[in-house]
Amino acid sequence: MEIGKGNFILNKNTVIVSNDATEKPAIDLLNSVLKQRFGFKLKQVKKATKNFISVYTKRFIMPGKEGKYDLTIRKNSVQLSGDTYSGTYYAMQTLLQLLPDSKQQTVNYKLPVITINDEPRFQYRGMHLDCARHFFTVEQVKKYIDYLASYKLNYFHWHLTEDQGWRIEIKKYPKLIEVGGCRNGTIIGHYPGTGNDNIKYCGYYTQEQIKEVVKYAQERYITIIPEIEMPGHSEAALTAYPFLGCTNGPYEVQQTWGVFDDVFCAGNDSTFNFLQDVLDEVIELFPSKIIHIGGDESPKTRWKVCSKCRQRIKDNNLKDEHELQSYFIQRIEKYLNSKGRTIIGWDEILEGGLAPNAMVMSWRGEAGGIAAANQNHYVVMTPDSHLYFDRSQTMNEDSVVFGSYVPLEKVYNYEPVSDKIDSTHQKYILGAQANLWTEYISNQRKIEYMIFPRMAALSEVTWTPKEKRNWDTFQKKIPVIFSRYDLAKTNYSKAYYDLSSTVLQDDFYHGIVWKLDSKLRGSDIQIRNTSSFDDDGNKIYSDYTHPVNISTSGLYEARQLYNSKQAGNSIFQRFIFSKSTGQIIRLATPPSEKYPGNGGAFGLVNGARSEKGFTSSEWLGWYGNDMSASIFTGNADVVSSVVVHTLKQEDSWIHLPEYVEVFISDDNINFTSVGRSSQFVADSLNMGTIRIAFPVTHTRYVKVLAVSKKNIEAGKPGAGSAAWVFVDEIEVN
Ligand SMILES: [Zn+2]
């Protein structure tokens, strides 16, 4: 980009020069925005000499360079020139970004003299929308597609079938929408919920509507990838046609969230005939070369005992149910390949062997994507640690969202090409996509709140060259990005301006320091201990000027004032002091990238407790590993108990440790066990403690081992898989 001097003046007399009818979407886009914002449209002509915007497409297509364009603004002309039609369209999107960010009606609108040569880094730039957990109308889906287009994304992954609803009309199987399109109620609140609303919830897209949406996306250079889930997440289909399941039902369209045991029967040929019929209609509606077949979270509970599934395993010399899943996916792949289509599936399709031509969407972190790329399979990175937009973007969220914390900065700094992929295989990373699952999103305002401004960050992750991506530069654009959302009356999260709270170690005193930050310029921060009041019973706030040492247990509040009024929600933080607080701690195994806590291992001795159950960012989580922490307790100090703060939320596969064992040592090498316990005392929000008491002893080091459950018992969600173990604090007393 090169910025020149002066301006092009856009006014009612500006004309558009275009000689190619295929450029119409780009021209319509400009005129619709001008009409909406400034109340006029521009005339289109074949030729002009001054005050014109020329739109021209070279139709020179380099593979993987579908979005390349040049935009040149001079004092008397604007020239948009795409290598392809989509490039021209992107040039127009860039031009719109250069328009003034106000609605002010004037006669002339200034555009800066500038030259831009631009092209995307990745050929796959996507967003997903789950229209099954909650249903969104054609108008809402179109609006969503407009958002994608404005950020130069080119794939829309449309999630159409689920346990909670089947949303696409299939003519040959009308009950899919008549029966599978409705559920009799929906749980209230965060899973596992506080009840059921008992309101019938229905919705589906007719084939005519789907054609309309596909065309709408095509005019914005967006390919729609439909997702038909199999073999799991299929209970709505099973409810409509019980012969598709292993037990033949009866089934029910699910009213709660999670993973369910009833899946398509892999032993029954009629399952495959059904799915082929469905896919026949799907590929007729969607021109996309790529079709998403799901493949995730499919329990093997039914397959283990179903005689037809056992027979299939035997007949095909398969080792186990994982190979049966692989058989299932490969059989579907073969069918879709024969129709000229390619399958993409969630990274579980790697288990039991990847289908020969399958593409992989890596969602459980990056491991699946890395493995697939190294096996010469194309990959789209959608790790839940960075690109799941159903996760909270603020530390103090007040609406119901899925747990865990994915702030704007984390999205912005995501790098799709992991250095764990060797250079010859990096080309298999086609790009990245953010996913919006809608268990807790039921309306347009909430969609916007969850995707903005994170979609702006995603846009740069997928478009901008790695070496040109810079968080500091991006932060400077945030006020303008927000003012454009305001202008369009789009809802968005202002979490970027939230107070942020960090608990740091005071190395010198082995104490803790509470640090508060705000990006809201000119705001004042205040803090208080919630148990202190003045003589009249009023809360006492003190001005925060620099990080403060906290030395007393208690619940603290921090708030931000802007123009003397409180901005955003207060932060509440509980501190508990013990002999471990602020001490040196080492972990044998780091926590999962998904639940790293605040500040890694130190988070276990930072005195800070979660106040919000599962949704707090204070938790450190281990999956399939034990937690083993060694804590320095000072020189030959006296200790007699350890309290581990943990979480029990079995619906989310978070189980209590099998037991917690405490060891002591003077040299941090040789440890002696002093006791163990598995006795859990619950307090609130599924949180609680396990306390291990032992005779008073002198020690320099205390090691705490929380042994995780390696195999969730039958009948519980996630049966057969490892369990998560969550810890947010270890007290040594
Ligand atoms: Zn079966």
Write the pLDDT tens digit of every residue in 579-595.
Answer: 999 889 999 999 998 89
**Residue 711, SS3?**
coil
Are 73 and 96 in contact by the 8 Å Cβ rule? The answer is: no
Rounded distance from Cα 233 to ligand 1 centre (Å): 15
Provide the pLDDT for residue 64.
65
Per-residue pLDDT, averaged over 418-436, amounts to 97
Q: Which of 488, 468, 559, 547 has the alpha carbon at shortest distance from 520?
A: 559
Look up tokens 């027979």; give the residue: 311
Rounded distance from Cα 241 to ligand 1 centre (Å): 14
* Angle (deg, nearest 10), helices 321-338 and 307-315: 70
Residue 359 has pLDDT above 80, yes or no: yes
Instruction: Give residue 221's pLDDT band: very low, low, confident or very high (50, 70, 90).
Output: very high
Per-residue pLDDT, averaged over 98-125, amounts to 89
Provide the pLDDT for residue 616.
77
Per-residue pLDDT, averaged over 407-413, amounts to 96
The alpha carbons of the chain give a radius of gyration, in whole angstroms, of 28
User: Which is more confident, 453 or 108?
Assistant: 453
Rounded distance from Cα 329 to ligand 1 centre (Å): 15
Rounded distance from Cα 359 to ligand 1 centre (Å): 26
Rounded distance from Cα 303 to ligand 1 centre (Å): 5
Residue by residue, DSSP assigns 495-555 as GGGS-EEEEEEETTTTEEEEEEE--STT-EEEEEETT-B-TTS-B--EE--S-EEE-S-EE
Min mean pLDDT across 272-276, 573-577, 707-711 is at 573-577
Query: What is the percent of the chain with per-residue pLDDT over 70, rounded to a whole number?
Result: 99
Query: What is the percent of the chain with per-residue pLDDT over 90, rounded to a whole number?
Result: 82
Residue 306 has pLDDT above 70, yes or no: yes
Min mean pLDDT across 57-61, 198-202, 622-626 is at 57-61
Rounded distance from Cα 262 to ligand 1 centre (Å): 10
Q: Pull the structure tokens for residue 379.
A: 């990959």
Rounded distance from Cα 314 to ligand 1 centre (Å): 13
User: Which is more confident, 373 or 617?
Assistant: 373
Q: Which amino acid is at 682?
A: A
How many whole angstroms separate alpha carbon 525 and alpha carbon 538? 18
Per-residue pLDDT, averaged over 174-192, amounts to 95
Rounded distance from Cα 181 to ligand 1 centre (Å): 24
Rounded distance from Cα 300 to ligand 1 centre (Å): 10
End-to-end CA distance of the chain: 61
Q: Where are the alpha helices (DSSP H) in 222-347?
A: 235-240, 269-285, 301-305, 307-315, 321-338
Q: Which residues neighbour ligand 1 (ion) by CB within 5 Å?
A: 246, 265, 267, 306, 308-309
Cβ-Cβ contacts under 8 Å for 675 (sequence gap 6 or more): 661, 662, 692, 693, 694
Write the pLDDT tens digit of every residue in 54-111.
Answer: 999 998 777 667 899 999 999 999 999 999 999 999 999 999 999 988 777 677 899 9
Q: Which of 385, 328, 381, 386 has the alpha carbon at shortest distance from 359?
A: 381
Rounded distance from Cα 364 to ligand 1 centre (Å): 26
Instruction: Give residue 635's pLDDT band: very low, low, confident or very high (50, 70, 90).
Output: low
Instruction: Give residue 446's pLDDT band: very low, low, confident or very high (50, 70, 90).
Output: very high
Rounded distance from Cα 249 to ligand 1 centre (Å): 12
**Strand 608-609 vs strand 571-575: parallel, antiparallel, or unpaired?**
antiparallel
Write the pLDDT tens digit of every residue in 230-259.
Answer: 999 999 999 999 999 999 999 999 999 999
Rounded distance from Cα 302 to ligand 1 centre (Å): 6
Provide the pLDDT for residue 321.
94
Provide the pLDDT for residue 157.
98
Rounded distance from Cα 254 to ligand 1 centre (Å): 20
Mean pLDDT score of the chain, rounded to an integer?
Answer: 94
Per-residue pLDDT, averaged over 602-613, amounts to 87
Q: Is the peptide bond before 231 cis (omega within 30 degrees of 0)?
A: yes
Provide the pLDDT for residue 511.
81
Q: Phi and psi of 434, rounded to 5°? A: -105, 145
Per-residue pLDDT, averaged over 671-676, amounts to 96
Provide the pLDDT for residue 133.
98
Provide the pLDDT for residue 191.
86
How many whole angstroms separate alpha carbon 297 and alpha carbon 254? 15
